[in-house]
Amino acid sequence: MNTEILKKTAQKMVAKGKGILAADESTPTCTKRFESIGINSTSLSRNEYRDMLFTTDGLEKYISGIIMYDETIKQNTISSNTPFPEYLNNKNILTGIKVDTGAKKLAGSHNEKITEGLDNLRDRIINYKELGASFAKWRAVINIDTENMLPSNACLFANAHALARYASICQESDIVPIVEPEIIMDGNHDIEKCLMVTKSTLNIVFEQLKLMNVYLEGIVLKPNMIICGKNCIKSCSKEAEKVADYTLECLLETVPKEVPGIAFLSGGQSSDLATKHLALMNQKLKESEIWNLTFSYGRALQQDALSVWKNKDIKLAQNKLLHRAKMNSLASQGLIN
């Protein structure tokens, strides 16, 4: 493990004014999104779509890295037939790779998941590094179910341990791990319940990271914001200040200051709302509180571009992506309302 490489890569991923484009949708997920706009999902159409995203002129001004799926990291640009990692490296954009194999039912539990993919992970990480990856991503899924007293401690510890093992294996090969424990915003839980569960989750995650000797200056945390469930009577869209305050409170109480940056997931929020909450947090965060707060959005960056790409208007789609990236860049600096 080369701590200097890990530290420099992590700092570059969360550099002020830049964020991460999550383009790591699995083939089934990408297929669902294509079907929603009437596009047939094939290896070629997915290649064309990712090519549209990655070749956007000026994207490097706002995006530090792009997370890819296994299929994508092995594909090339359409015009020059250049491998995507090589093309992005020439634009000063880092290549990332999703390495978990999905969330499956946690045995002995009620409606809880455990993320799998540790088998052969070391070999896969080495292979992805040879393909050009500088960082990786692993997503744990935590459900809140107040009626059934979930999440259980078993679910929290199992997923935190898997995240820590993944992070340790990544760092062996000088690959920066994005640590993503996501509280799923389905259900009717309120914002206070989200705060309590997220605090517990992050405390356990960092306990397990420490146990596995993970170098904290060489990771990026990708958490959820503190928002209420989709079916909560009180809509968080009316409580933007509270979302920002609760999220900062959670981070300040749980995240060690050695962590260089936090790249939020959007968690099903609208594109505008995810940007607004990010901006508010950066306006409230004091410089003495260390981390850079930025974004690692998928749909919240891509949706507008996808909606017009179906008409094969590549330039307009790229302009939509660039606008979203720019707005979130400004939000990550607290420069917009």
Per-residue pLDDT of the chain (337 residues; tens, 9 = 90+): 899 999 999 999 999 999 999 999 999 999 999 998 888 999 999 999 999 999 999 999 999 999 999 999 999 999 999 999 999 999 999 999 999 999 999 998 878 999 999 999 999 999 999 999 999 999 999 988 766 677 999 999 999 999 999 999 999 999 999 999 999 888 778 899 999 999 999 999 999 999 999 999 999 999 999 998 877 766 665 688 999 999 999 999 999 999 999 999 998 888 899 999 999 999 988 765 678 999 999 999 999 999 999 888 899 999 999 999 999 999 999 987 6
Write down all domains in the chain, each with its CATH number in brackets: 3-331 (3.20.20.70)
pLDDT at 248: 95
Alpha-carbon gap, residue 209 to 226, rounded angstroms = 22
CB 142 within 8 A of CB 182: yes
Q: Which residue shows structure tokens 């974004």?
A: 295
> What pLDDT is recorded for position 287?
62
Contact 294, 20 (CB under 8 A): yes
pLDDT, position 145: 79
Which residues are annotated as catalytic? Answer: 180, 222
Q: How far is CA 240 from the centre of its chain?
A: 21
Contact 160, 204 (CB under 8 A): yes
Q: Which of 203, 173, 129, 152 has its CA nearest to residue 6?
A: 173
pLDDT at residue number 236? 62
- Sign of the torsion angle spanned by Cα atoms 314, 299, 25, 127: positive
**β-strand partners of 182:** 141
DSSP 10: H
Identify the DSSP state of 147.
T
Distances (CA, A) of 53 to 3, 19, 26, 56, 317: 32, 15, 16, 6, 8
Q: What is the pLDDT of residue 65?
A: 98
**Which pair of tokens denotes residue 277?**
């909450």
Provide the pLDDT for residue 312.
83
Is the pTM for the entire model greater than 0.85? yes
* SS3 at position 177: strand
Beta-carbon contacts of residue 167 (< 8 Å; ≥ 6 apart): 138, 177, 179, 209, 212, 214, 219
- Helix/strand/coil for 199: helix
